Amino acid sequence: MAIKSVVLSALATLASASPLLHARDSNSTTYVFTNSNGLNFTQMNTSLPNVTIFATGGTIAGSDSSSTATTGYTSGAVGVLTLIDAVPSMLDVANVAGVQVANVGSEDITSDILISLSKDITRMVCDDPTMAGAVITHGTDTLEESAFFMDATVNCGKPVVIVGAMRPSTAISADGPFNLLEAVTVAASPKARDRGAMVVMNDRIASAYYVTKTNANTMDTFKAMEMGFLGEMISNNPFFFYPPVTPTGKVPFDIANVTEIPRVDILFSYEDMHNDTLYNAVESGAKGIVIAGAGAGGVTTSFNAAIEDVINRLEIPVVQSMRTVNGEVPLSDVSSDTATHIASGYLNPQKSRILLGLLLAEGKNLTEMADVFALGTNA
C-alpha cells in the first residue's frame, strides 16, 4: 500500500448524530466517518474515547531495506496512516484519527513546529469536550525537549502522550507498534488526566518534565533516574503508582500570542574551555545561553568571568546546567554577588534551553527568569 499522509485541522467529535458503531472499513483509505471539522476516521464507535495522533516522523516512522538494521535507516519514511494501519488493535481502545505534522528526524524539529503543534493540540483537543487526549509520534533524539515544551504549554489536564521507537518500522521485533498502542491507551484513559505531558515507551509511563534519553541505542533508554516513573503498562493496561501531582518548579505557559521562540544556545563545559565560544554565540544572535557545566554547573574561572560580562554588559541570561545525565545544579553552586547567575536545578541543558526560550518569549527580565528557575532548585 502506498504511503499516504493526511494533514487535517481538527479532531473527532461525538456530538454529531451517528450510529452507535461505524465499523472499520476493509480499505483503510476509504473513511466511514468524517467529523464536522473534516477529520477522517476509519471507525467511529460512540462507546470509545477519541484520540488523535500527531505524527512528526522519527524512528517510529523509519524504514530500511534490511530487517535487522537498527542504525543507518531513514527516519520519517512512513506516514501516519501507515502507522495506524499497522496497529489495528488501537481501534479496540479508541477512535483514532491522524494528523501529519511533519515527517523528519527529530533533529529537524524546530520551535516553529512546536509552537504550531502546541496551539493545534490546545485548540483541537483542549477546547473540544469530546476529545480524550492526544498522542505525538516523535524521533527519540530530541523527544524529551518537545515533550517538555508540550508539558509547559498544553495545560488543560487532558493527556498529551509523546511516543517514539528505538527500532525502525521495518526491523524484526520493531518496538514502535506496541509503543503506539500503549500511548493511545494512556491518552484515552481517564486515569491519565492532570498528570501533564507524558512519555510512554517500553511499558513505562514517565513525566515529560523529568524524563531523559539515557542510551543512544537500547529500547529502555528513557528514564527518570532520581524521580522514577509515573507508572507502567501491563498487558496494555496503565497502572499509575500515585495520584496526579505537579512536578516541583513546573510553570505553565500560555503561548496563544507567541509566534516565535528567541534563540538559545547550549555550550558544553570542558577543561581549558575557550571564552570566545560564549561571545561567538551572542554575536551570532543567541538571546540566551545554557551551559552544560561540569559537575553542578561548573566552568573555568576565566569562563565564569566571561559569563558575568555577558550578563552585566549585554543583559544576556545564562543558565548553568550539568553535562551529567542526572543531578542538580543548586543556586548556591553558581551564585555570585556580582551578577545574576541562573541555576538549572534538576533540569538538564536541553530542557533548560526550552524553559529559557519560553521565558524570553514572554519578555521576562533577568531577575524574573532567575526566580522561575529557582522554583526547581533545592538550595
What letter does residue 94 receive in the DSSP assignment? -
Annotated binding site for substrate: 106, 140-141
d(CA 378, CA 202): 31
Pairing of strands 318-322, 95-104: unpaired
Question: Which three cell numbers, joined as nine digits, stand for 56?
Answer: 512528526
d(CA 328, CA 343): 9
Residues 6+ apart with CB under 8 A from 294: 269, 270, 322, 323
Q: Could you list the active site residues?
A: 59, 140
Please state at what angle helix 349-361 crosses helix 143-153, rounded to 10 degrees.
40
Is 278:306 a contact under the CB 8 Å cutoff?
Answer: yes
Annotated binding site: 106, 140-141
Three-point CA angle 70, 75, 81, nearest 5°: 110
d(CA 251, CA 372): 8
Question: Which three cell numbers, joined as nine digits, stand for 163?
Answer: 511516543
Looking at this protein, which amino acid is placed at residue 274? H
C-alpha torsion angle, residues 329, 240, 246, 326 (rounded to 10) = 10
- The distance in angstroms from the start CA to the end CA of the chain is 57
